[in-house]
Amino acid sequence: MGASEQARRHGPQVLDDGVSFSLWAPSASSVELLESDQPPRPMLRDDDGWHQILSPTAHVGTRYQFKIDGELIVPDPASFFQPDDVSEPSEVIDTTALRDAILYPERPWAEAVIYELHVGTFSNEGTYAGVEKRLGYLRSLGITAIELMPLNDVPGRHNWGYDGVLLNAPNARYGRPEDLKRLLQAAHDLDMMVYLDVVYNHFGPQLNYLHSYAKCFFSDRHRTGWGPALNLEGKTGVFVRQFLIENALMWLRDYGFDGLRLDAVHALKDESGKHFLVELAETIRGRLAGRNAHLMLENEANQAHLLERPKGQVGLYNAQWGDDFHNALHVLLTAEDEGYYRAFADKPLEHLVRSLVEGFAYQGEVFPLHGTPRGQPSAHLPPEATIFFAQNHDQVGNRALGERLSTLISLDKLKQVMVLLLLNPHIPLLFMGEEAAADTPFLFFADWSGEAAELTREGRRKEFSDFRAFSTPEMRARIPDPCEEQTFQASKLDWTTMDTSPISAELRALTRELLKIRHENIVPLVKEGIVSARGDVLGKHDRTGGLNVRWQTAKGETLQIVTNFGSGKLPMPALAKGEKLWPPQPSTEQLLLPTQIVVQLSMPKKPRERPASESLDRGLDHPAANDVEVRDLSEGEGGAMEAPAQPKNVARDD
């Protein structure tokens, strides 16, 4: 295969007669290849700004860099590995050699129980091998998928991963590409899926040289909260899209990841005829024939059209992270009402029930923090279109002191949360250590230096200046410095404590028991298909009451969850006749006690076939005292909460 057949592909391509190097550098007049132990070689430039050369002396393992306009020496922005950090020479890696001869058959999406972890802080080793050692433990709990926070290489010794500079290069701090591949193979051997968090909305603030030789990689029309937006529009935007799509395909096809979680897609600014998110999903599903990659979104805009199920099948994306569920639940558990919790503090129970019943709490209503409408109608989507969690890296790590729920609420509430999270039909996600009530913080950390470190430090403190607990400079001085080594070290899981603590043992046993119940009773309902859902708010006060939610399948099976978030007793609502999934012991209690949660599953006497024309009925019922009802918005019935219509084929940034 000659170099001409490898034209316009980002990154080195290993060929029979050498290695083809390509760099899209439209802002550069000249580019030279600096190959180890070889003299500089000029690269040929075409009209679109691609610089290319075939090196007959290069091979797998060769180190190389590029020299821009005779002065600036840079790594390959599409480097597949950086053994000595992001500013040093790149290493030629043949990622096609990592591909599996026999593909792992991904588990059905309905079976996903996701465990999010940060490779550097999950284990004592802070490596892929350290994660691999704990896979058996996670599998024994009932975890079916691990989700790795971003691996793309970043400057320095430690970082969350969301400030990526070289998107194709897995961070050398965790091991070599071969070590990452072994982790995936070990997980697959245990019938566990592996997902990867990827960031396509911005690059990190240090050692990103793209501005120097590919200015049009970034948009001059749009900005994000992290700086210039990537250019996804027009002729030059085609090459940026290609770069990102090739990255996604590399993780899925070459390394064998079973799915991707796309970070903050609301920050992808794109007014093209076909939004990048649509092209990305269509390309992945078209190019990976025989694979059923699970694609997930973090999307503040609550864009339901990206989650549509044409003919009952996933179209573009499997699911979106359910921040609305988390935010409402957190307000109920902690009474916190600052920051983004303010948008859920007025009626947290109503927001929580609507999330359980319809996926999103905000479906076109004005969002208090922005003063503009947020979201699209989601009542017609199945529960598995949203991923629910009580904690994740954001919700813990974006707190000033990185506290977990285990340090904020009682053990009884922790148990209540675990039952609610794992026995509802939405896809559950646990954050590393949550199953063992870990009390180590998860702080924001990055290994910046110079001005970037100072800006990060001060920006972190300024971020919390409006919070009562950090309203003075003295209070803000308590916020850990993100760039200190101790901040990173403090965020590591303490496995010694987790392995010996009675509370950890109790929570682990609970998690294991609940996931067994989920696998045997909830997953079959999700696979069969939930066709209707309704919910009640219990009690007279939205902050001190409870909820009663029922989901029904086409065969008439009903799953019911009843729980009390208040400090007083509530009347026990009528329970569906059938099997009590939780608690395991029988109860004749006529009152619903604080933190009590009951999960019932009833089976119909005569299973009913659901006509194809029958519409999906999801609503949020309140008792007469509240007298509010949200109907199925997909039926066009309108009502106080009906959201404005949105285009179905183009993603929008609301």
Residue whose C-alpha is closest to residue 316's, from 282, 359, 363: 282
Assign 3-class secondary structure to 347-390: CHHHHHHHHHHHCCCCCCCEECCCCEECCCCCCCCCHHHEEEEC
Q: What is the DSSP letter of 465?
A: T
Q: Which tokens belong to 227?
A: 């700086």
Q: Write out the DSSP string of 267-325.
A: G----SSS-HHHHHHHHHHHHSTT---EEEE--TT--GGGG--GGGS--S-SEEE-HHH
Q: What is the DSSP letter of 265?
A: G
Assign 3-class secondary structure to 74-110: ECCCCCCCCCCCCCCCEECCCHHHHCCCCCCCCCCHH
Residue whose C-alpha is closest to residue 218's, from 203, 207, 205: 203
Assign 3-class secondary structure to 234-252: HHHHHHHHHHHHHHHHHHH
Burial zone of 586 (CB within 10 Å; 0-12 exposed, 13-18 middle, 19+ buried): exposed
At residue 63's C-alpha, the angle toward residues 59 and 67, to 5°, is 115
Residue whose C-alpha is closest to residue 146's, from 154, 138, 155: 138
Instruction: Tell me the residue ranges of DSSP E strands in 62-216.
Output: 63-68, 72-74, 90-91, 114-117, 145-148, 152-153, 166-170, 193-198
CA atoms of 164 and 153, how far apart (whole Å): 6
H helices of 464-548, where? 473-476, 485-490, 495-500, 502-517, 523-528
CA atoms of 453 and 488, how far apart (whole Å): 14
Residue whose C-alpha is closest to residue 384's, from 562, 529, 552: 529
Write out the catalytic residue numbers: 263, 298
CA atoms of 535 and 210, how far apart (whole Å): 51
Question: In 3-state terms, what secondary structure has residue 183?
Answer: helix
Residue whose C-alpha is closest to residue 45's, from 65, 61, 21, 63: 21
Rounded to 10 degrees, the C-alpha dihedral 172/175/176/178 comes to -150
Q: Which distant-in-sequence residues (6+ apart) come within 8 Å of 259 by Cβ?
A: 106, 145, 193, 195, 196, 252, 293, 294, 295, 296, 318
At how many degrees (to 10) do helices 411-422 and 323-334 cross?
A: 160
Residue type, 244: L
Number of CB atoms found within 10 A of residue 64's CB: 21
Residue whose C-alpha is closest to residue 349's, from 331, 363, 334: 331
CA atoms of 202 and 401, how far apart (whole Å): 26
* 464, 475 Cβ separation under 8 angstroms: no
Taking phi first (over 0 means left), then psi (-120 to 50 degrees means alpha), and beta for anything else, what does residue 605 get?
A: alpha
